[in-house]
Structure 1
Amino acid sequence: MGIKFLDVIKPFCGILPEVAKPERKIQFREKVLWTAITLFIFLVCCQIPLFGIMSSDSADPFYWMRVILASNRGTLMELGISPIVTSGLIMQLLAGAKIIEVGDTPKDRALFNGAQKLFGMVITIGQAIVYVMTGMYGDPADIGAGVCFLIIIQLFVAGLIVLLLDELLQKGYGLGSGISLFIATNICETIVWKAFSPATVNTGRGTEFEGAIIALFHLLA
């Protein structure tokens, strides 16, 4: 017999931050505007470095996963969409296996979405603690307890922003799913940066531009 897990979650759902449902039909132009605002906020967070980190130049264990996680190392979007995806996957598996009971009523669906959001917040703060304590941004003993706590707070707030932006789009204010849009935007940003980046890197052949297009014209000049 399934556990009535949603009844346990219900008291917490009332205090969770939530995007209100639109009271009227959102026009297409408004959806485009809200989608653009959402992606702009996401891109800005992808460029804001975390305050207090000592170094992010060491080997990145998640380098090849960052494309599908829509994450940028050393920035507010360090965690990307991983908390959303992980919480959604686990909750769907629990519901599909009948470990938790979820009815077809709007009330149960709302509680299920609230539980998924709460679980996403728990995963976010859990991942933030693991990232900091495992030395992702430097030895915690060298950084200090205060700065470690500050980094965890930054990652948690950024993760909460991603959850709310995804909910904003799913509530009908924008176009498409937040997860797919964030991944696509992150890929497009990477392509543009790798093509036109003015940053230089030192190689065995000397100093070269990181951007492929700029490097091409530089070599032809």
Structure 2
Amino acid sequence: MGALRYFAKLGEVVPSVPRPTRRPDLKYRLIFTLAAVAVYYAMASTVVYPLTAGAGPQLPMLMQVVFAATTGTLAQLGIGPIVTAGLIIQVLVGGKLIELDLSKPEDRKLFTQAEKGLALIIAAVEAAGFALAYRLNPYVTASVALQFFTGALILLILDETIQKGYGIGSGVSLFILAGVARTIVWDLLAPVTVTITTPEGSTVSQYYGVIPYIVSSSIGGGLDLGRLIYGYVPGYLVGGEAAMLPSLTGAVATLLLLFVVIYLQGMKINIPVTVQRAPGIRGRVPLNFLYVSNIPVLLFGIIVSDVLLIRNMVEAYLPQHRWLAESLNSALLYLTPPRGLLGVYYDPVRALVYAAVLMGAAVLLGLMWVEVGGLSPAQQAENLVRSGISVPGMRSNPKALEAVLARYVYPLAILSSLIVASLAVVADVFLVFGGGIGLLLASGIIQQLYTALTYEQALEMYPTLRKFIGE
């Protein structure tokens, strides 16, 4: 608890706005939400001084998507510190390593402030780690690190302001969705040309976006099926990864995967229950088929980003231990997917290892999240009994209800983790726009935002509902 209070004390340093005394209307909250997205886009497009666009070590696609990060910009860290800090505190509290009763206002405040404080520490460490990777002189490195840290601080403030009721949803989800949407639109419509030098010394210029490429090639001729289907430029193919560009296959796969994910998210497993106060009334408690949602792949993305950060710091601080940096590079190779069908063809071992690691990690992380995220059978049974709900033919006993729920919860957690990981692997193989994990995260966020907007619209249309729900 002492460490938590230290983090909370540090979190008080972060500027914050008070909660609105009266809930702002929906129009105002929509405008504020869009303004926050605009600020994020501006940050993701602002290269920090004195770096240049595209210079230095590039962030893996996985990290760019999961953390809404952009290499070399004010959004270099993205929401990484916020997400990582939140998950660490959640695991500590959910695992009972720190005793907090989140039903008490003072404990909830301590929880929130501790998240902010830990996020500041993580942001400082990550900013230093990424700045060191550019190998600049100490003063310039400190300047770059400060700019990275400032960007993370701005996103932290925006996230808190949105969650306090000035916007809709959460800033973390909003920025992830904005990053994935930007990638999808760019891959589909980018009118810029890319010039690539082949090993033979010749150059190849093509439109980056799929639609501009198809239109220009149809008009001027020279439509290349290899680029269209596999996403590679003829004459420049190294291990199946070099010069990979958006393809028509990726566009079609993006639509198909989006439909599949939306369908799976709508599936429910219904458990028959009775209401104690009205024994004759029976109902159903729905459990989501994707029980742990996209949390396992999100946690996997955090692990990969941490390995990358450690690699950067080892290369900067311990150049004499080159073997350690090379070991981490080898680990990163198998923790990130090969690019496209040709990447799988040229390096099948990497593809198989990545798929096995992602699926195995997803199952373990999914089961862990069930226990620490309030999704365990015991926690669910306690909540249902407190609400006056029981299973037909059984006494209103949390242990009996827990045994029934356990038959559903753990199989669903394992199955949903495997399904989400499998979808991510398939999406990466077919070069889905935004990446497999990114599209999974985005689809879940879209559903959450739709639910939140529907809820807010209902309150706008029927103000008397506020009295019934205590707002």
TM-score when normalising by structure 1? 0.88
Q: 1:175 aligns with which of 168, 172, 185?
A: 168
In 2, the alpha carbon distance for the partners of 1:8 and 1:147 equals 31
Q: 2:31 aligns with which of 15, 30, 33?
A: 33
In 2, the alpha carbon distance for the partners of 1:8 and 1:125 equals 16
The unaligned stretches of length 5 or more in structure 1 are none
In 1, the alpha carbon distance for the partners of 2:30 and 2:179 equals 18
Check the 8 A contact 2:11/2:120 in 1, yes or no: no
1:112 counterpart residue number: 111
Cα distance 1:210–1:119, how it changes in 2: closer, same or farther (>3 A)?
same
> Is 2:192 aligned against 1:192?
no
Percent identity over paired residues: 32
Write out aligned runs for 1:93-112 (5 A).
93-103=91-101, 104-112=103-111
Write out aligned runs for 1:59-98 (5 A).
60-98=58-96
Check the 8 A contact 2:8/2:117 in 1, yes or no: no
Q: Which moved more, 1:167-176 or 1:98-107?
A: 98-107
CA-CA distance at 1:5 after TM superposition: 4.2
Cα distance 1:105–1:4, how it changes in 2: closer, same or farther (>3 A)?
farther
Letter matched to residue 94 of structure 1: L
What does the per-residue CA deviation read over 1:57-95, in whole Å, with 9 as the maximum and x for residues that have no partner?
456352233112111112111111111110000001111
Check the 8 A contact 2:59/2:71 in 1, yes or no: no
Letter matched to residue 62 of structure 2: W
> Is 2:150 aligned against 1:157?
yes
Check the 8 A contact 1:4/1:101 in 2, yes or no: no
Cα distance 1:12–1:77, how it changes in 2: closer, same or farther (>3 A)?
closer
CA-CA distance at 1:12 after TM superposition: 3.6
What does the per-residue CA deviation read over 1:20-75, in whole Å, with 9 as the maximum and x for residues that have no partner?
11121211101101101111101110101111226744563522331121111121
Letter matched to residue 15 of structure 2: P
CA-CA distance at 1:186 after TM superposition: 0.7
Cα distance 1:10–1:68, how it changes in 2: closer, same or farther (>3 A)?
closer
> Is 2:200 aligned against 1:201?
no
- Secondary structure of 1:84's counterpart equals helix
CA-CA distance at 1:188 after TM superposition: 0.9
What does the per-residue CA deviation read over 1:158-214, in whole Å, with 9 as the maximum and x for residues that have no partner?
000111111111101111121111111111111111222222112457211112111
- Return the structure number with greater relative CO, CA threshold 8 A, min gap 6: 1
In 1, the alpha carbon distance for the partners of 2:11 and 2:79 equals 21
Q: Which moved more, 1:73-82 or 1:12-21?
A: 12-21
Cα distance 1:111–1:192, how it changes in 2: closer, same or farther (>3 A)?
same
The unaligned stretches of length 5 or more in structure 2 are 220-471
CA-CA distance at 1:10 after TM superposition: 5.1
In 2, the alpha carbon distance for the partners of 1:181 and 1:85 equals 13
Letter matched to residue 167 of structure 2: G
Cα distance 1:210–1:87, how it changes in 2: closer, same or farther (>3 A)?
same
Check the 8 A contact 1:6/1:108 in 2, yes or no: no
- Secondary structure of 1:76's counterpart equals coil
- Secondary structure of 2:194's counterpart equals strand
Letter matched to residue 26 of structure 1: P
Check the 8 A contact 2:7/2:115 in 1, yes or no: no
Letter matched to residue 90 of structure 2: Q
Letter matched to residue 157 of structure 1: T
1:122 counterpart residue number: 121
What does the per-residue CA deviation read over 1:104-132, in whole Å, with 9 as the maximum and x for residues that have no partner?
32122112101100100110010011112
1:148 counterpart residue number: 141
Check the 8 A contact 1:6/1:101 in 2, yes or no: no
Letter matched to residue 118 of structure 2: F
Cα distance 1:17–1:59, how it changes in 2: closer, same or farther (>3 A)?
closer
In 2, the alpha carbon distance for the partners of 1:14 and 1:195 equals 43
Q: Which moved more, 1:92-101 or 1:3-12?
A: 3-12
